[in-house]
Amino acid sequence: MLKKIGIYAKKNHPDVEQIVSEICERFRRENIEVFLEDTLAEQIGQVNGTSGENIPALVDMVIVLGGDGTLISVARQIGDRHVPIIGVNLGQLGFLTEITRDELPEMLERIIADDYKVSDRMMLDAAIRRNGKIVGKFTVLNDVVINKGALARIIDMETCVDGRHLTSYKADGLIISTPTGSTGYNLAAGGPIIYPDINSLLITPICPHMLTNRPIMVWSRSVIEIKLKFEDDVVFFTGDGQVGYKLLPGDVVEVSRSESRTRLVTSPSKDYFEILRTKLSWGER
């Protein structure tokens, strides 16, 4: 039974105060305790905010008001706690924030009645090794990207899967994506869309020198190792497009399936294929 819920929101959205007020009022009538992320509390003039990093340990569920980027950031904060997330989109329909503003009242009633469905999404663990030591560790929902700076030359990325040599990509970069992230940078780079329930990893080169280097899907339990070779250029590691780390020649990036999972509460009125059709304008002329 739901007893405590946390709320995060996109900063400075004009509708947030009214929506949060409605949510809090409905839950308080059911004696459900509400925790507001501290910047959200400050934005709407309340003084009882809670650090966003601390909320997942205190609640049974969280609501994210905003877009997919806001939800992805919250998913990383939740980490391995497996707290369900309700993503409410305050703009256009999102791939992850699929609950619309109009659907929110019905969704609140379903939550209170414990009548909702959850989509379980895999995440990635990434480690950066330098001279045999781990210098960076990240857990992400969408993707890991190795990318060169604006004026850098092509990167040489020797790539192995489960200790077996795959190929040495010569490209502007490389994307390792989850099925959830397949509709993001991976799709823009020519990679396939993968249904979220298919646990797999996608390896997609960015502008490869060899046109025969195509995206490849591997088992979700595979360990992908990328050794970087380049000279005095600017190369970055990026997780979910939100966290970054500058890479050096000889660094090794290791990516594998995480034990953490993101649990998304699904819309009661639309399915994944409807979201794809809407976001990608399929069927329009």
pLDDT digits (tens, 9 = 90+) for 96-105: 999 999 999 9
Same domain, 98 and 128: no
Q: Is residue 109 part of a domain?
A: yes
pLDDT band per the 50, 70, 90 thresholds, residue 268: confident
Same domain, 82 and 145: no
CATH number assigned to the domain comprising residue 144: 2.60.200.30
Same domain, 97 and 128: no
Residues 196-210 have a mean pLDDT of 95
Identify whether the C-beta of residue 16 lies closer than 8 Å to the C-beta of residue 65: yes
Higher pLDDT, 90 or 126: 126
Same domain, 126 and 208: yes
Instruction: Give pLDDT, residue 204.
Output: 98
pTM of the entire structure? 0.93
Same domain, 90 and 129: no
Identify whether the C-beta of residue 146 lies closer than 8 Å to the C-beta of residue 155: yes
Residues 43-58 have a mean pLDDT of 91
pLDDT band per the 50, 70, 90 thresholds, residue 69: very high
Same domain, 98 and 168: no
Give the whole-angstrom CA distance, residue 282 versus residue 285: 9
Instruction: Give pLDDT, residue 18.
Output: 93
Q: Is residue 285 part of a domain?
A: no
Instruction: Give pLDDT, residue 125.
Output: 98
Give the closest residue to 138 by CA, choosing from 76, 92, 196. Answer: 76
CATH number assigned to the domain comprising residue 69: 3.40.50.10330
Chain mean pLDDT for the chain: 94
Give the closest residue to 125 by CA, choosing from 21, 271, 251, 253. Answer: 253
Same domain, 127 and 113: no
Q: Is residue 56 part of a domain?
A: yes
pLDDT tens, position by position, 214-235: 999 999 999 999 999 998 789 9
Instruction: Give pLDDT, residue 94.
Output: 85
266 pLDDT exceeds 80? yes
pLDDT tens, position by position, 74-99: 999 999 999 999 999 998 778 999 99
Active site residue 240: no
Same domain, 88 and 210: no
Instruction: Give pLDDT, residue 233.
Output: 83
Bridge partner list, 226: 159, 253
Same domain, 91 and 130: no
Same domain, 225 and 138: yes
Residues 149-160 have a mean pLDDT of 88
Q: How far is CA 90 from CA 67, 70, 104, 277, in A?
A: 7, 11, 11, 19
Domain extent, residue 35, equals 4-117+266-280
Same domain, 135 and 256: yes
pLDDT tens, position by position, 169-182: 999 999 999 999 99
Q: Is residue 226 part of a domain?
A: yes
pLDDT band per the 50, 70, 90 thresholds, residue 151: confident
Q: Which percentage of the chain shows pLDDT scores above 90?
A: 85
Q: Is residue 101 part of a domain?
A: yes
pLDDT tens, position by position, 31-50: 999 999 999 999 888 878 99
Same domain, 192 and 77: no
> What is the count of structural domains for the chain?
2
Instruction: Give pLDDT, residue 283.
Output: 80
230, two tokens: 């380049």
Q: Is residue 13 part of a domain?
A: yes
Residue from 15, 38, 68, 240 carrying the catalytic annotation:
68
Bridge partner list, 213: none
168 pLDDT exceeds 90? yes
Q: Is residue 214 part of a domain?
A: yes
Written as one letter, the residue type at 177 is: S
